[in-house]
Structure 1
Amino acid sequence: MPSPHTGLAVDTHAHVFVQGLALAARRRHSPEHDATTAQYLALLDAHGCSHGVLVQPSFLGSDNSFLVQALRAAPRRLRGVAVVEPGVSDVALAELAEAGVAGMRLNLIGLPTPDLAAPEWSSLLARINALDWHVEIHLPAGRLHEALPALLQAGCKVVVDHFGRPDPVLGLADPGFGYLLSQAGSGQVWVKLSAAYRNWTPADCPTAGREACARLLHAFGGERLMWGSDWPHTEHRHLASFPVVRAWLDDWIDDPAQREAVLAGTPLRLFQFK
């Protein structure tokens, strides 16, 4: 459902792709179905979402051309998060920004954390900051300490994916989740309430997600939290659907003002929707 007061709601995490695109040589997953921009926009319409954010899928690597094509199909409704390498040119970054990209993603699941203080990364992060982009990081909670300090030291706005990815066995007792909570005071960190099924079983998502939300709200407030569908739920399509994950948010957050901040106010600002 849309935000109760503004009529606005933002899905901050979704992916679009079609079969036949060039895939990254190093990838964890190869899609066997299409997830088109038209399908996604229809889902936004059906579930009261005014805006959406498309995140470059890891299996497409740093070729953001399909992402750009999707953003240009609905420039008022969509923003993007791209994957870029340290050597990317200023011209390429400007083209991404013009298309509606508002951040870069570091998906480090299964990959080592790069030395973000090294000259090539420092230079890239400075250019990202100059564009007023954020850096979105995806890695297990126990590894957040490998990336966050350098990004915060560089002055970056940091968005942490999927509740911070606490360990499924440890749950919210994961020290990495506690570390994430401790970073709220920086004022530079946002967290996506998304892909709960990547952390917990579907049966546990309503209760575990609610407890995680309570702790995150206590630490960050609604001003640093956002909701994402994670559509099309890659590798988890049998466990989730857009209406199910949207309904979870209403189960997780009781207060309408907090829910409105998470759904609308915070992401509208961070992703620079006009």
Structure 2
Amino acid sequence: MEATELNIRISFGRKHALALLSAFFLCWHPGFIGSETLQLTTFYPAPYGGYVSLLTTGGTNTVPANTILARNAGRVGVGTGTPDSKVDIRIPVGLGANGVQITDDNANPDTRSYATLGVTRAASGNNLAYIGLTKQGTYPWAIGVAGSNDLIMGASSAGNRTIPSPMFSIDTGGQIAMGGGAEAGRRLRVVGDLRVTGDIYVNGRIQGLCQRIGYSITGVTSCPWNHNVIGFLGDGVARVSGFLPASATTSGVGRFIVLGEDWGGTMICCRF
């Protein structure tokens, strides 16, 4: 029996290989790895095509977290396919403190170097919205909106975007507080000491500065601990102190009778 031998030789040049690889990558869809959609639209004649839009999407949310959209209307959207402003960044529900942050590449958010800008959609703790700035090696200063809807400011924890102890706050009625929370009916509340180097002009009355307190030798004898006596007025009642002499016919024996008309009355106690 005769044997037939067939030899096939295929030769690829550079152009052929390029065409084959192009066809392979166009036909191959690596769905098991994951995919992203990229859409670029221009108008021609080439190579002077004008840029119209760039769209890339990915993720599993209803509005993908990493959606980036640029339109010819001059709007850029991140997290949204329909930006309403020039730059529109949407944070999906559930991300909490993982909002928008512009910073350096330091791994620890609480020790970022120099300027750090962070915006939070919602955060736990003492604030609901947050913008923070920091410098190298320090916790950032931050401005936020508290659960009470007060505007607050203070040193914060950048890691979870909260302001644990606000140093300054303004409520919706315009009441201002430093070192604590605002107080209804008080335009300014200061918790702590206050030093004034200039003059203080008061058109109204100073409330709670002084008070009148009755005193007697058998009752109240001093002002409260945070007050000082600036004056007193006796009630004019004569009071006897001491003892009569042991013998009415012997002078100089025993103690003299002392009348005290100022031993009972009213004293003025003030916070001076």
TM-score for both structures, normalised by structure 2: 0.21
Q: Which structure: greater helix fraction?
A: 1
TM-score for both structures, normalised by structure 1: 0.21
Q: Which structure: greater strand fraction?
A: 2
